[in-house]
Structure 1
Amino acid sequence: MKRIIINVNGVDRPLIVDPAKKLADVLRDQLLMTGCKVCCDNGQCGTCTVLIDDKPIKACMVPVSKYGNGEKIVTIEGIGTPEKLHPLQVTWMHHGGAQCGVCTPGFIMSAKSLLDKNTSPTREEVRTWFNRNRNACRCTGYKPLTDAVMDAAAIMRGEKTPEEFAQKIPDNGSILGSKYHRPSALAKVTGTWDFGADVVQHMPPDTLHLALVQAKVSHANIKGIDSSEAEKMPGVIKVITWKDIKGKNAITGLITFPTNKGDGWDRPILCKDKIFQFGDAIAVVAAETVEQARAAAEKVKVDVEILPAYMDGWAAQEPDAIEIHPGVPNVYYEQGVIKGEDTAPIMAKAAAVVEAETLCSRQPHLHLEPDCGCAYIDDDGVLTIQSKSIGLHLHHAMICPGLGVPPEKLRLVQNATGGTFGYKFSPTIEAILGAACLAVQRPVSLVYTQYQNITYTGKRSPGNVKTRLAADAEGRLLAMETDWWIDHGPYSEFGDLLTTRQAQFTGAGYDIRNIRGKGKTVCTNHAWGSAFRAYGSPQAFLSSEIAMDMLAEKLGMDPLELRYKNAYRPGATTPTGQVPEVFVVDKLLNLIRPKWEEAKARCKAFNVPGKKRGVGISIGIYGCGLDGPDSAGAAAELTATGVTIYDAWQDHGQGSDLGTLTFAHETLKPLDLKPEQIKLVMNTTDCPNSGPAGGSRSNVFVGNAIKLSCEMLLNAMKKPDGTYRTYKDMVAENIPLRYDGKWVVQGCNEIDPVTGQGNPFPIYMYEVFVPEVEVDLETGKVTVVKFTTAADVGTIINRATVDGQIYGGLAQGIGLALTEDFDDLKKHTNLLDCGLPYPRDIPDDMEIMYLETPRPQGPYGAAGVGEAPLTAPHPAILNAIYNACGVRILKVPALPELVKKGLDLKAAGKPAIIPARS
């Protein structure tokens, strides 16, 4: 240990430290300046950025001893306060730059360093600065962040004032449709919003720290676990194994499909007899410090018998493949589609038939904040688990039996969450925390490393989808045939549901009267499949939207015109036979048509040696809901100072606090309340069950529940003369103050497992994608240079939020198309190698065009938005690559080496096609 003095935010701070300890850890653990976030721990994300002598430095990468010589360290806590914000903090809130907010302090500190040197940067200089300093964001698509820097620079130059960007309520008194700031924005831009790892700093002194003992192989029988050496190591309190778990030691997938051949109890909390995938948790070490726990975890010996590992859907379906879960076939669920007449004779007589077989990748979520959480037993004997869960009541049901805890003795709480994009629809860390807490009877915390976060959380399930389309000579679609499988990894939870998505969305958007298809869910030993934004639709649209382009070429038609000719119109039904709630696909195509024509002309005129440009198009559709019957609850309570809203609308960056506030404020307008008079109590299992925050359902379902509960309160407050009772009036008249509303969807049902027919969703989102790409003919590298999109997500509840969701979704779609993958367990272990896009990988030139068609069942006409922008940007990008250079890529990501291979095939006079299995 050594005594050093570091100067932080203008104050000399004497410290006794390990000189090798990282500056970020000292700031967080000893000075409690948790505005410095640690996410990747290897300099790849920039969330830990602080200024040292005005230069942006990644605090997770440097030892504290390097800065004990009078260097001036500035953190986010030192540049502004809620009462006196830095211009960057002001404009960041205005542009919705803090979505999940975990990257926000690092970005603002990096931007401050730039603007302190140059108050007149160009947009490209801002983007290059962020790119060079490895500032990464997974939520925003970077454009709003650049907007914020440019406006902050204008304030610093004196051309604009902070007041221009201050919080305002429109003259009509409604914040609906405005750019009103989310309630969490101020805390996020000042670094005071506490994420999961920050909450650990608030835990009691007797909190134990956990470390996992994980599988280092993908498939094996466990012959023995020896923890004797680990138990003797300093600080170790206990090594927890399956023997310490009193319940079923399994997480239930809540199987609801009767034709599923499994029982849903296939994921162990801690492995007992078998390892099913790399990273499986085998034991947990509880120790006094993180370092002690991790050191001891390395000493636990696991004796294994290696088994064949089936790392993709093809391998697991081979005739000689053993059952990964003995007694359950590797193909454990099948889904059919039967609509209209038999397709075979139609296909035989059609003027044009094409087939596209595609493979969508095991896309990693690449959320910056690693999985984290804590658990404790409160004074009432209730086990409380705090985590990043986006399905509190769902997860409660999934882990209770496995832990052996009565439901009334388990509470789940969502911490402020640094992005999930769906992976937390599945429980990950919750049951492990609960098992450890029960075993040691002390508070516990567990924070994954980024390596663990990437290798041991769910991923998008790869999908192999084959689509055959038939059309007449005029381009009218006559029939479609589909065949698909989904590689859902070793654990079945929601795998059957994912497989139904291919039936729902392959060919969606078009009037196809005759469909035949069959698909299946396959168990493998690669990463388990979890929900990912646009769940299931990227696999479907990759195939059908490339097939549409192939068909247009065969017919000699413009790709937009073919889509327009076949778009949903009255009389058409979806692939599941449902009548669309609105008919907008043709209108969106017409809206974007002038941009499409401009892009075609621009790409044709492009003339740079060694490069080609092209434009592509696709449509994407997604439903709001969880398939069939669905509901959500919320409550409104009148108080002496205003109204309190209770719900469990879990927030993973999409802005549930703002959604809750906006729906409540709009409905309660007769009371003339200011937004600050509406208090939000959210996201514990003590709140009403609002359902999980997935499937873009919350805006519709929870929004309706909030609206309903507020209307019930208003009805109770209303006097016969039309005025409203006060709080004192209500108390005096003994009228209840709290009203629980529950909204239940009407007219929806699950699709049939044989025919695929049904009405799964009450509301859909619709979007058209038009990217322009540049292909380097020398290297095969593809760059998206411009992206135009037209979307209809119903009534826009908050403009900045919806813009941000679409920009961010497009960025993730570009990553899915070109760079992102989790396939190689030796390579794909960090953010950079998994293909996380940085600012220069995403175009600054992104344009959103909106239709606002009110939805009959939507609150104030709203649909959802989060899934829409990631439904189908990737096939549009692959179509643009083909338009640019004639190479047809049938799998993602379209890495440079694949494009170059196609270019070489073309140069050799061979078909320039990169097939799904290549």
Structure 2
Amino acid sequence: MSSHWTEPEGEKFALGTLAEQAHWKREYRRIVEGVRGRLPDVGDAGGTVGQPIPRNDALYKVRGRARYAANIEMEGMLHACFVRSEHPHARILGLDTSKAEKAPGVRAALTAADAGEELIGTLVADTPVLARDRVRYAGEAIAAIAADTPAQAAAAAQLVAVEYEPLPAILTPEEALAEGAVEIDPEGNVLIALHNERGDIEAGLAEADLVLENDYAMAQIEHCFLEPPAGIAFVDPDGVLTVMVCTQYPHYHHKQIARVLGRPMDKVRVVQTVVGGGFGGKMDNTVEIAVALLALKTERPVRMVYTREEVFTATTKRHPMKVKQRLGATRDGKFTALDAEYLLDGGAYRSYSITVSGRCVIHAGMPYMIPNLRVDLTTAFTNHVPCGAMRSFGIVKTAFALECQISEMAERLGLSPIEIRRRNGFVDGDTTATGQTLHDVGLLKTLDALEPIYRKRKAEIAAAPKVGSLRRGLGVACLGYGIGYSGVRNPSTARIRVDGEGTVTAYCGTPDIGTGSDMSLAQIASQAAGVSVNRVNVVSGDSTKTDDSGPTSASRTTYFSGNAALIAGRDFRRRFEAAVAGKLRAPADRVRLEADTVTVDNEAMSFKEACRLVADEAPGIVGYGKFDPDIEADILTLKGNPYPTYTFATHLVEIEIDEALGSLALARVWAAHDAGTIVNPIGSEGQIEGGVAQGLGQAVMEKVVRENGYVVNPHYRDYLLPGAKDVPLDIECIFVDNYDRTGPYGAKGVAEVSLIPIPAAMAAAVADASAVRPARLPMESEYLLRLIERRDGAKP
């Protein structure tokens, strides 16, 4: 992993783009430091884990040299697009592609007849590649066209004649669950129903001195990755069907393409291209099967790139959700009971709804010790675009409901929002609602880190004079989040090898989707192997070169793949030392590889010299690592140990609300995280800052607007997102000292969790500033104004 950050042109480019906005000055300084600096040349002694090493791909990307899927060009390449349903629910009575096939430049048309009988899907194969006899949402793919140019493909798609018989559309979960409702799925309209319970809920509520009962609602959210789904397929000279695609899980697509097309696994290869944002939205199916089929049919490379409108109307979303919840507590603030009902809109197909639903129920009540708990969840099919995985897997919404109630409970009981959380927060040895015993819990440390800040700012705000209709407030929210997939084994593997010149290659199947995970894995692998991080090149995201190590999701990369890299690094070191010992005829226990140096007794040689010494054996010196923690939980009964460990955080926010306009601004954030050992502070801070921005958007402005089964705001001009001026300059990241005994060098994860507390903390801050309690997301200006008007109307 060599540094490319010495070119003054990179600094000039950064100056011309990032430094123009004051908001990005801190990020600009990081890039410039990387441009001017070098990676530290250290191995295991005082190793690289914990050092703020700049990402090796930073300049490569800001200079525009990254090859995204839409940038890939090949000789003879065709361009494809889908023909999509015009109805949210309808039978397909006829489909005629003859006019389209005769259109200028068209080389092929694809329908369900070409796609075979196999269904596709992430957890359950329930979705046709192309709709055959019925469409279940507006935007579902019916046919595909390949032509010489994108414009020709799009024009020909308009010529495909589809005869529909419209069917009644089910647009809400309540409609789907009503008696006599039209069935969307052959198994009925209940996508999944889950129940979890511990203790005696009625006794717990009776024990409480105060019981709060509230309803909450959260809108559907789009992932809003900058790069739309895109991919290109071609058959290489060896007859291997190769699909290059922006994805979070290339091995999933590898297996599915082989299955659907009936090809041997070794005749299919999936390569992840540089990913321009994912957030869970690139774990599902988009272009992969279609471009593969068209490439085989035309015997030419075929590329497909979604339009922005397709992203909004045909890719998975965060689930809309409604919550009914009762929380009981004694007068001294100890929780006695939580009774919650969750209702989710799953859309037309299953996607990741089962996973999201399970995680919502498992995490109900987290991160607090609540002795009596009952949770019921129903996710229903509707005739909307399917909902799937998105950063936090739905926990941002369950946390919003719980943390809002806790903040109200604190006020009603005369406790500070930090104190009530401290009295109930998880500690080592506590058990979750699934019966799992917790270890290495740093939640109270995060509360302790923020308490003096909270007290100081609370006093300063109270002492400051009010300015017109502007009001300031503080809000607190916590979270606990299980690392990895829920209740199923999801192992990671790694391999490390070296060549005769000292270049170390680490093969890790979990892809880097822009998070900088390759850099973190290089740090872990280099420290474990005893070599300089400069030598380590990480290969990831290629189904041929790497083993299946699972997707980049659920905050699992650092923990799962990091552990695999740690094991592989140590195995490599042992094998390398043995090879050197054999060449020198020395006892293996007298040879030590450390800090890029090999020592034998008092003699030393550089790692590169040692590689030349064992050059003839180098291809066989391979370190192997597999991390497969014991995870046992029943997804239906929701009992057992669903995750190997948990990460925790508390966020304190300061907001400013204009009570005359209802406008809400996020002024400052203090984010205290227990993420175990921080492998790379720069990367972790970036994750938290990005999560804050994403949480802000979902808190105050983001929502997919749906009318009669159609998305009516399918562009960024209609779907509001935070801009640079909306994100606070002052985001303080605090990493508490907490070592996780099961993590690689004590590390856990931080990516998923960083957005979760923001909406709830902002809602609490609104209540602190204006004495109104928002109960829905997003907290738009009109909604806040109505709450303020209702408050003022209640005054005498």
TM-score, reference length from structure 2:
0.91
> Does the CA contact (< 8 Å) of 2:10 and 2:63 recur in 1?
no
SS for the counterpart of 1:517 is strand
SS for the counterpart of 2:639 is coil
CA distance in 2, matches of 1:150, 1:802: 16
After superposition, the C-alpha distances for 1:604-623 in whole angstroms (9 at most, x for unaligned) are 33511112221111101211
User: How many angstroms does 1:700 deviate by?
Assistant: 0.9
CA distance in 1, matches of 2:150, 2:665: 42
User: How many angstroms does 1:564 deviate by?
Assistant: 0.9
Candidates 401, 414, 417, aligned match of 2:259: 401
SS for the counterpart of 1:616 is strand
Structure 1 pair 527–852 and aligned structure 2 pair: CA distance change class (3 A) = farther
2:569 matched to which residue of 1? 710
CA distance in 2, matches of 1:451, 1:109: 31
Candidates 8, 12, 26, aligned match of 1:147: 26
CA distance in 2, matches of 1:88, 1:319: 65
After superposition, the C-alpha distances for 1:568-587 in whole angstroms (9 at most, x for unaligned) are 12442222221222122112
User: How many angstroms does 1:315 deviate by?
Assistant: 2.5
> Does the CA contact (< 8 Å) of 1:358 and 1:890 recur in 2?
yes
Matched, 1:214 2:73: no
1:805 matched to which residue of 2? 687
1:344 matched to which residue of 2? 202
Any unmatched runs of 5+ in structure 1? Answer: 1-79, 93-107, 115-125, 128-142, 156-161, 255-263, 912-918
What percentage of residue pairs aligned between the two structures are identical?
Answer: 31
1:29 matched to which residue of 2? none
Matched, 1:625 2:509: no
Matched, 1:906 2:791: yes
CA distance in 2, matches of 1:590, 1:674: 37
SS for the counterpart of 2:315 is coil
Matched, 1:722 2:584: no
Matched, 1:741 2:625: yes
2:296 matched to which residue of 1? 438
Matched, 1:180 2:59: no
Candidates 104, 108, 113, aligned match of 1:243: 113
1:790 matched to which residue of 2? 672
2:754 matched to which residue of 1? 869
Structure 1 pair 858–715 and aligned structure 2 pair: CA distance change class (3 A) = same
449-458 or 890-899, which moves further after superposition? 449-458
User: How many angstroms does 1:227 deviate by?
Assistant: 1.6
CA distance in 1, matches of 2:257, 2:508: 21
SS for the counterpart of 1:420 is coil
After superposition, the C-alpha distances for 1:697-741 in whole angstroms (9 at most, x for unaligned) are 111111111111121111112232224683455455698322332
CA distance in 2, matches of 1:469, 1:544: 8
Matched, 1:778 2:778: no
SS for the counterpart of 2:9 is coil
Structure 1 pair 318–228 and aligned structure 2 pair: CA distance change class (3 A) = same
CA distance in 2, matches of 1:426, 1:606: 52
Structure 1 pair 163–613 and aligned structure 2 pair: CA distance change class (3 A) = closer
Structure 1 pair 178–909 and aligned structure 2 pair: CA distance change class (3 A) = same
Matched, 1:284 2:284: no
User: How many angstroms does 1:834 deviate by?
Assistant: 1.6
Matched, 1:333 2:195: no
Structure 1 pair 163–225 and aligned structure 2 pair: CA distance change class (3 A) = closer
Instruction: Spell out the pairing of 1:8-157 with structure 2 (5 A cutoff).
Output: 83-88=7-12, 109-111=16-18, 114=20, 126-127=21-22, 143=23, 145-149=24-28
CA distance in 1, matches of 2:18, 2:520: 29
CA distance in 2, matches of 1:733, 1:837: 55
Read off the aligned partner of 1:350 and give its amino acid letter.
A
2:244 matched to which residue of 1? 386
User: How many angstroms does 1:246 deviate by?
Assistant: 3.4
User: How many angstroms does 1:752 deviate by?
Assistant: 4.7
Read off the aligned partner of 1:749 and give its amino acid letter.
E
Candidates 451, 468, 471, aligned match of 1:609: 468
> Does the CA contact (< 8 Å) of 2:651 and 2:672 recur in 1?
yes
Structure 1 pair 350–619 and aligned structure 2 pair: CA distance change class (3 A) = same
**How many residues align structurally?**
759
Instruction: Spell out the pairing of 1:157-556 with structure 2 (5 A cutoff).
Output: 165-169=36-40, 174-199=47-72, 201=73, 203=74, 205-248=75-118, 250-254=119-123, 264-325=124-185, 327-339=186-198, 341-556=199-414
User: How many angstroms does 1:427 deviate by?
Assistant: 2.3
CA distance in 2, matches of 1:224, 1:432: 21
> Does the CA contact (< 8 Å) of 2:704 and 2:711 recur in 1?
no
Structure 1 pair 349–176 and aligned structure 2 pair: CA distance change class (3 A) = closer
Read off the aligned partner of 2:174 and give its amino acid letter.
W
SS for the counterpart of 1:888 is coil
CA distance in 2, matches of 1:525, 1:390: 26
CA distance in 2, matches of 1:511, 1:346: 13
After superposition, the C-alpha distances for 1:857-899 in whole angstroms (9 at most, x for unaligned) are 1101111110111222111111111222122221101111111
Structure 1 pair 572–111 and aligned structure 2 pair: CA distance change class (3 A) = closer
1:878 matched to which residue of 2? 763
CA distance in 2, matches of 1:852, 1:425: 33
1:699 matched to which residue of 2? 558
SS for the counterpart of 2:510 is coil
CA distance in 2, matches of 1:512, 1:170: 49
CA distance in 1, matches of 2:616, 2:303: 47
Instruction: Spell out the pairing of 1:584-733 with structure 2 (5 A cutoff).
Output: 584-604=442-462, 605-628=464-487, 629-642=489-502, 643-669=504-530, 673-686=531-544, 687-718=546-577, 719=581, 720=588, 721-723=590-592, 726-730=610-614
CA distance in 2, matches of 1:770, 1:676: 38
Read off the aligned partner of 2:629 and give its amino acid letter.
V
> Does the CA contact (< 8 Å) of 1:247 and 1:404 recur in 2?
no
Structure 1 pair 197–151 and aligned structure 2 pair: CA distance change class (3 A) = closer
537-546 or 549-558, which moves further after superposition? 549-558
Read off the aligned partner of 2:7 and give its amino acid letter.
E
> Does the CA contact (< 8 Å) of 2:571 and 2:625 recur in 1?
yes
After superposition, the C-alpha distances for 1:764-798 in whole angstroms (9 at most, x for unaligned) are 11111111111121221111111111111111111
Structure 1 pair 465–88 and aligned structure 2 pair: CA distance change class (3 A) = farther
1:831 matched to which residue of 2? 716
User: How many angstroms does 1:150 deviate by?
Assistant: 6.8
Read off the aligned partner of 1:236 and give its amino acid letter.
V
User: How many angstroms does 1:530 deviate by?
Assistant: 1.8
Structure 1 pair 498–207 and aligned structure 2 pair: CA distance change class (3 A) = same
SS for the counterpart of 1:795 is coil
Any unmatched runs of 5+ in structure 2? Answer: 582-587, 599-609
Candidates 621, 630, 639, aligned match of 1:757: 639
User: How many angstroms does 1:176 deviate by?
Assistant: 1.8
Read off the aligned partner of 2:122 and give its amino acid letter.
G
> Does the CA contact (< 8 Å) of 2:478 and 2:650 recur in 1?
yes
1:121 matched to which residue of 2? none
Read off the aligned partner of 2:92 and give its amino acid letter.
I
Structure 1 pair 518–401 and aligned structure 2 pair: CA distance change class (3 A) = same
CA distance in 1, matches of 2:795, 2:363: 33
> Does the CA contact (< 8 Å) of 2:343 and 2:378 recur in 1?
yes
Read off the aligned partner of 1:180 and give its amino acid letter.
I
Query: RMSD of aligned C-alpha atoms?
Result: 2.3
SS for the counterpart of 2:523 is helix
SS for the counterpart of 2:649 is strand
Structure 1 pair 445–501 and aligned structure 2 pair: CA distance change class (3 A) = same
Structure 1 pair 561–878 and aligned structure 2 pair: CA distance change class (3 A) = same
CA distance in 1, matches of 2:323, 2:258: 36
User: How many angstroms does 1:173 deviate by?
Assistant: 5.8
SS for the counterpart of 2:282 is helix
After superposition, the C-alpha distances for 1:250-281 in whole angstroms (9 at most, x for unaligned) are 21333xxxxxxxxx332111111111112111
User: How many angstroms does 1:626 deviate by?
Assistant: 1.1
Asked which structure has the greater RCO (Cα within 8 Å, sep 6+), the reply is 2
